[in-house]
Amino acid sequence: MARLTGGDPSLLRRINSAVVLHALRATDCATLTEVSRVTGLSRPTVEGVVEGLIEAGLVVETAAGEGTARRQGRPARRFRFRAEAGHLLGLEIGVHRVAALLADLDGRVIGAEAADADETVDADERLERLDAAVSRLLDRAGVPRGSLRAVGVGTPGIVEADGTVRLGTALPGWTGLGLGELLGRRFKCPVLVENDANAAVVAEHWKGAARETDDVVFVLAGLSPGAGSLIGGRLHRGYGGAAGEIGALHLLGREATPETLLSTTDEPLHPLDEQAVAEVFAQAREGDKRALAAMDRFIRRLVHDVAALVLALDPELVVIGGWAAGLDGVLEPLRRELARYCLRPPKVALSHLGEAAVATGAVRLALDHVEEQLFAVEGTVTTRR
């Protein structure tokens, strides 16, 4: 904070701006008197701050106020936060597809786009398809790239603080990829890269199955399984960003990998062949005995992974996503086994957000970044102009 106190506008003015912006954002629109009452600031102070926010493009006087003004003489002017003053992207880079969500500064999603990208697609091509999806999305919404304030990205693998993928075995060419830098060249705003399961747990906490708790583990079931957790509402990344990388548990149990468990023949599935997995799931739904047996093996394995996470972390809630989000049959055995093995079994729920979890979490990470900027040093917006 020290560097803020010396200059002009003062730290106080910045704090007041953040407080007023926060109050306006919490409501549809408000009068200066209402903002003054909510914030405890004097009316002249609120008026000065709101003028600055209007200049910065973050607040606008509402048309409703203007409309009634003509008829009734001089009603109070009303103002609202301009959620459309900037935009956010939430990107998902997955093993079988890439996806993008576009949101306004309230985090409201205003568009979505996706493209296939199976396990044979290399890193360059995967990022090309993602970029093409983003371009289509922005074009359709009529939002210029310059309006983007932050981009969140969810990807498999262990991600360094600078957005480099330290280790990513689920995607070809992923280990060592400077994902943050590569995407940073395509956008003129901050790009925040996060592990996919971490992004998903943030999403379920924001809009999904974990809204009511701050201590939650999200399990992204799949051929390359992972987990993300919030402890006291904060993302637990681990010392080296590898927390929740539970794929190795399959090996540890000296039992089989998902691709062996889920095979209905003597040959394991291809390690990244999601399509083959979908077929096994479909066969199981039709009552195929070999497929049902494969599902049973897979669920037993999932229960084991989840139990290990629960014993280590002791969350209030476990949310199951990825493949398993579509598995009606997974919750009951999971609850039964957790009750048997855990001293304090957590609640268990399926993902509410399903396929959208990772990209939604990426939006939230972008929004967190922008909110930090708006509410911490909002004053710089007005002085930079």
Please identify, using beta-carbon distances, which residue of 67 and 240 lies nearer to its own copies: 240
Chain positions 140 to 169 lying near its own copies, rule: CB under 8 A, are 158, 166-167
Segment 285-304, which members bind its own copies (CB under 8 A)? Answer: 304
CA dihedral angle for residue 205, residue 211, residue 215, residue 219, rounded to 10 degrees: -50
Whichever of 12 and 252 has its CB closer to its own copies, that residue is 252
- Write the interaction track for its own copies spanning residues 252-291; mark x where CB under 8 A is met and - where it is not: xx--------------------------------------
Least gap, CB of 240 to its own copies (angstroms): 4
Nearer CB in complex with its own copies: 314/371 = 314
* Distance in Å, CB of 253 to its own copies, minimum: 6
Binding window for its own copies (CB under 8 A); candidates: 181-189, 262-270, 340-348, 349-357:
340-348
Nearer of residues 161 and 343 to its own copies, judged by Cβ: 343
- Least Å distance, CB 170 to its own copies, is 11
Alpha-carbon span 280 to 266, nearest angstrom: 14
Residues 319, 350 contacting (CB under 8 angstroms): yes
Q: How far is the CB of 171 from its own copies (least distance, A)?
A: 14
What would the x/- binding string for its own copies be over residues 72 to 101, using CB under 8 A? ------------------------------
Rank residues 243 and 320 by Cβ distance to its own copies and give the closer one.
243
Report, in Å, the least distance between residue 318 CB and its own copies.
11
Cβ neighbours for 196, distance < 8 A, ≥ 6 positions apart: 92, 93, 94, 154, 155, 156, 220, 226, 228, 358
Q: Residue 307 interacts with its own copies (CB under 8 A)? A: yes
Pick the closer one to its own copies by CB: 56 or 165. 165
- Looking at the Cβ atoms of 37 and 304, the one nearer to its own copies is 304
> Between 107 and 225, whose beta carbon lies closer to its own copies?
225
* 75: preceding bond cis by omega (within 30 degrees): no
Please give the Cα distance from 313 to 159 (Å, whole number). Answer: 21
DSSP labels for 194-241?
Answer: EEHHHHHHHHHHHHSTTTT-SSEEEEEESSS-EEEEEETTEE---TTS
Residues 309 to 338: which contact its own copies by CB under 8 A? 309, 311-316
Work out how close the CB of 210 gets to its own copies at its nearest, in angstroms, rounded to a whole number: 12
The answer to whether 88 and 148 have CB atoms below 8 angstroms apart is yes
For residues 201-260, which are near its own copies according to CB under 8 A?
213, 215, 227, 229, 231, 236-249, 251-253
Q: 225-264 burial, b if ≥16 CB within 10 A, otherwise e?
A: bbbbbbeeeebbbeeebebbbbbebbeeeeebbbbbbbbb
Minimum separation from the CB atom of position 144 to its own copies (A)? 39
8 A C-beta contact, residue 175 and residue 168: yes
Instruction: Calculate ∠ Cα 223-228-234, nearest 5°.
Output: 170
CA-closest candidate to residue 259, choices 243, 237, 277: 277
The tokens describing 173, both together, are 């060419």
Q: Which stretch binds its own copies (CB under 8 A): 29-37, 269-277, 284-292, 342-350?
A: 342-350
Binding site for its own copies (CB under 8 A): 158, 166-167, 213, 215, 227, 229, 231, 236-249, 251-253, 304, 307-309, 311-316, 340-344, 346
